[in-house]
Amino acid sequence: MPAPRTYRCEGLTLRKSTLGEADLLITFFTKEQGKVRAVAKGARRSTSKLVGHLEPLTQGRFSMSTGKSLDYINQVQIINSFSEIKSDLAGVTKGLYVAELVDGFGAEANANPALFNLAVDTLQAIQNSPESEWPLRFFEIHLLAVSGLMPELYRCVECNQDLSPGEHRFSPSLGGTLCSNCLPENTYIRPLSLPALKVLRLIHRGPIAELMPLNVDDHLAEELKSLTGGIVSYWLEREIRSKSFLDQMQRETRGQVYT
C-alpha cells in the first residue's frame, strides 16, 4: 500500500467541530484547492502541538496528508491569527460573518485565489477598523464579483440601456439595476436611490482603502446594508446564521456615525 501523499497549502480556518474523543474536524479555505475539510488528530488534547493553531479566523500554512475520505492536518504555521479581531466583539462578529460567507460561496476542490485574498484583506481591514461597516460592504460586493455573480450597476438589465441619473430599481433575480422605464412582472424589485447606486459603483471600482474615510448618513448606510446583504442571501439560498447576531449588535449601536 502506498504511503499517504503529503502536501502543503495556505488556508484560512472557517470553522471547527469535535470529532471523536480528542480530534477536531476543521473546515478551511485554501488558496490552492478551495474549501477543504480535514481531521486534526488529537488536537483537543492540551499537549497537542496544534492547540491554538486551528481557531476560526486564523490564516496559516498547513502541512497535510491525504486520507481515504478526509485528509489530515499534520502541522500548522500561523501567518496571521487576527488576534485583535478575536478580542473585540464587533470585530469577531464581522469576521465570523466573512467566514460563513466564504464557507457558503467557496467550493470544495475548486481553487479561487481571488476569494481567498479577498477574505484575508477584509479581515485585515476589520482588524484595522473594527467599528467600520465598509469592510463588510466591500466584501459582499467583491464576493459576488469573484464568484461570477456581480450584479449589473451600469446598464438596465431589462432594456440594456445605459442608466441615466434618476429613479432606479434593483432586482437580485434579474441580476442588477433597472431603469425608470422598465418594470418586469412576476419578480421581486426594490427601489434603489441614486446615492446608493453611486456608492455601489465606488465599492466595485476602488480599493477598500478609498472607502474607509467615507461618511454617509444612517438612511443611506441602512439602504446599502439591506441591498448588499439581500443580494448575498439570494444567491446563498439559506439563512446566514451570523447575520442575526450581527444585525442585533448593529441595532444596539444605531444612531452612531457610520464611519
d(CA 250, CA 140) in angstroms, rounded, equals 17
56 neighbors 83 (Cβ within 8 angstroms): no
d(CA 163, CA 248) in angstroms, rounded, equals 35
pLDDT of 1: 52
Report all structural domains of the chain as residue ranges with CATH numbers, in order of start: 6-81 (2.40.50.140), 84-252 (1.20.1440.120)
The identity of residue 188, as a single letter, is Y
pLDDT of 257: 42
pLDDT of 127: 95
pLDDT of 242: 83
Q: DSSP readout, 46-115?
A: TT-TTTTTS-TT-EEEEEEE--SSSEEEEEEEEEE--HHHHT-HHHHHHHHHHHHHHHHH--BT---HHH
Three-class SS string for 9-33?
EEEEEEEEEEECCCEEEEEEEECCC
pTM for the full predicted model: 0.91
Cβ contacts of 128 within 8 Å, gap of 6 or more: none
The two beta strands, 168-171 and 59-65, are unpaired
Q: Nearest-CA neighbor of 218 among 259, 166, 167, 170?
A: 259
pLDDT of 259: 45
pLDDT tens, per residue, the chain with 259 residues: 555 589 999 999 999 999 999 999 999 999 999 999 999 999 999 999 999 999 999 999 999 999 888 999 999 999 999 999 999 888 999 999 999 999 999 999 899 999 999 999 999 999 999 889 999 999 999 999 999 999 999 999 999 999 988 789 999 999 999 998 898 988 999 999 999 999 999 999 989 988 899 999 999 999 999 999 999 999 998 878 887 778 777 776 654 544 4
Is 258 strand, coil or helix?
A: strand
